[in-house]
Amino acid sequence: MICPFCEHSDTKVVDKRESDTTSTRRRRECLSCHQRFTTYERIEAVELVVAKHDGRREPFNPEKLRSGIALAITKRPISSQQVDRMIEEIEAELRGTKGREVATDLIGALVMEKLKELDQVAYIRFASVYRDFADVESFRDEVHQLLDGHRHNKH
Structural domain includes residue 149: yes
Reported as a single tens digit per residue, the pLDDT across 93-146 is 998 887 889 999 999 999 999 999 999 999 888 988 877 766 677 777 878 887
Structural domain includes residue 3: no
Q: Number of folded domains in the chain?
A: 2
Structural domain includes residue 27: yes
Instruction: Quote the percentage of the chain above a pLDDT of 70.
Output: 90
CA 77 to chain centre: 22
Q: How would you classify the pairing of strands 49-51 and 101-103? A: parallel
Reported as a single tens digit per residue, the pLDDT across 36-93 is 999 988 876 678 999 998 999 999 999 999 999 999 999 999 999 999 999 999 998 9
Q: Is 1 helix (H, G, I), strand (E, B) or coil?
A: coil
pLDDT at position 144: 82
Residues 36, 65: one domain?
Answer: no
Radius of gyration of the chain (CA): 24
Q: Is 28 helix (H, G, I), strand (E, B) or coil?
A: strand
Residues 96, 24: one domain?
Answer: no
- Tell me the average pLDDT across 3-17: 93
Residue 17 sits in which domain range? 11-42
- Enumerate residues 6+ apart whose C-beta is below 8 A from 36: 14, 27, 28, 29, 30
